[in-house]
């Protein structure tokens, strides 16, 4: 079984950027393991979708074995889709690096 992962909605493609205020339509998802190592940077394919992005974004993350997602804000559709896909969500703002450390320190 592969390790559970943490996804952070980010305004940019590294941990030095701010956590995005859009969960489903953020510019990037940064995927980390439980030790805080950056595993993958995803240029979010849902960011410019014409229709609802929440379902596609939640499925994308669940397919990457993400179990926790961090964003500054979550819409009702996104929270519902994440829950349906077994992903918990945490609202945090500030730099990605700081948000990741806060979540990892809770474990």
Q: Which helix (H) or strand (E) holds 28?
A: strand 28-32
Q: Give the pair of three-digit tokens for residue 62.
A: 């669940």
What is the pTM (predicted TM-score) of this model? 0.95
The whole-number pLDDT of residue 3 equals: 81
Residues 36-54 have pLDDT tens digits of: 999 999 999 999 988 889 9
Per-chain mean pLDDT for the chain: 94
Contacts of 46 (CB under 8 A, 6+ apart): 24, 25, 53, 56, 57, 60
Domain spans, the chain: 5-105
The whole-number pLDDT of residue 2 equals: 61
Q: Do β-strands 66-71 and 5-10 pair in parallel, antiparallel, or remain unpaired?
A: parallel
Classified by CATH at the fold level, domain 5-105 comes out as Nucleotidyltransferase; domain 5 (3.30.420)
- CA dist., res. 92 & res. 59, Å (int): 21
**H-helix segments, the chain:** 54-63, 76-84, 96-105
């Amino acid at each position: 079984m592969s390790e559970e992962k943490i996804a952070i909605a980010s305004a940019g493609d590294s941990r030095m950027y701010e956590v995005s205020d859009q969960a489903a339509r953020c510019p990037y998802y940064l995927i980390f393991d439980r030790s805080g190592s950056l595993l993958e940077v995803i240029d979010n394919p849902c960011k410019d979708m014409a229709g609802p992005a929440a379902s596609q974004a939640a499925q994308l993350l669940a397919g990457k074995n993400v179990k926790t997602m961090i964003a500054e804000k979550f819409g009702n559709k996104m929270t519902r889709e994440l829950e349906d896909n077994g992903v918990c969500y945490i609202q945090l703002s500030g730099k990605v690096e700081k948000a990741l450390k806060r979540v990892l320190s809770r474990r």
